[in-house]
Amino acid sequence: MFFACLINIIYDFFINKIKPIVKELTCLMLIPLGLALFMLFLHINFGDTLAFKHAQTAWGREPSNPFYILYACFFDPYFATRIWASVIILTNILLLYLFITKRITQIIFTFSLLCIYIPLSTGIYSIMRYTFWIPTILFSYSYIFNTKSLIIFSLVSLPLQIYFYKSWIASCWFLT
C-alpha cells in the first residue's frame, strides 16, 4: 500500500503538477505503522519479527519471480492452475483497460496489481484468495458490469470460493 500511495503522489506531483499536502504525506507515513505493529506483536509473542516470512519458508514456499510462476502455470499438469493463471491474465487485461479508459485511478490500478503479484510470488496456490475478493478488483468488475451483475457474480462465486477454501484446507489433489 505504501508503494501504491507513493507512486500516486509522485505521479500527481510530476504529471498533474499537484503538490502533496501534509494530510497525504502523513497518511503515507502511517501506512508502515501497521506492519511495524504486527512485527512488534510477532516479536513479543514468538521472538521472531519476520515470522510471517519464515512461515513461508517452513511451508516450502520460497518467494520467486511472479511472472515466471505465471508462465510456468500454463505448463502445469493440473487443470486448475491453468484456470487460475488465465483468470490472472484476464484480470490484468481488465485492469489495464479500465486504467487506459480512465475508469479507475492510477492508485487503484497500482494497488490492484500489487495485491495480485506480491502473493503470486509465493506460488499460484494462494492466488484464488486474492484475485476475486480484493475490494479494488471488485470495484473494477463493477465498472464493467452493472451493480446488479456484480451482486449476482458475488453470490454465485461465494459458494465456489467456500468450496475452494474447504478443498484447500483439506489438501485436495487439485489444490496441492
Output the pLDDT for position 40.
92
Output the pLDDT for position 9.
72
Question: CA-to-CA distance for 21 and 118, rounded, in angstroms?
Answer: 29
Output the pLDDT for position 44.
92
Question: CA-to-CA distance for 140 and 154, rounded, in angstroms?
Answer: 13
Output the pLDDT for position 2.
67
Question: CA-to-CA distance for 64 and 13, rounded, in angstroms?
Answer: 33
| Contacts with 73 (C-beta within 8 Å, 6 or more apart), sequence order | 81, 82, 84, 85, 124
Reference 94, options 81, 107, 113; nearest CA is 113
Output the pLDDT for position 175.
47
Output the pLDDT for position 14.
75
Output the pLDDT for position 153.
67
Beta carbons of 128 and 164 less than 8 angstroms apart? yes
Predicted confidence (pLDDT) per residue in 70-119, tens digit: 899 889 888 878 888 888 898 889 889 888 988 877 777 888 888 888 88
Residues lower than pLDDT 70 in the chain: 1-5, 16-17, 19-25, 27-28, 128-150, 153-154, 156-157, 160-161, 164-165, 167-176
How many angstroms separate the Cα of 168 from the Cα of each of 33, 86, 137, 165?
32, 19, 22, 5
Beta carbons of 112 and 136 less than 8 angstroms apart? yes
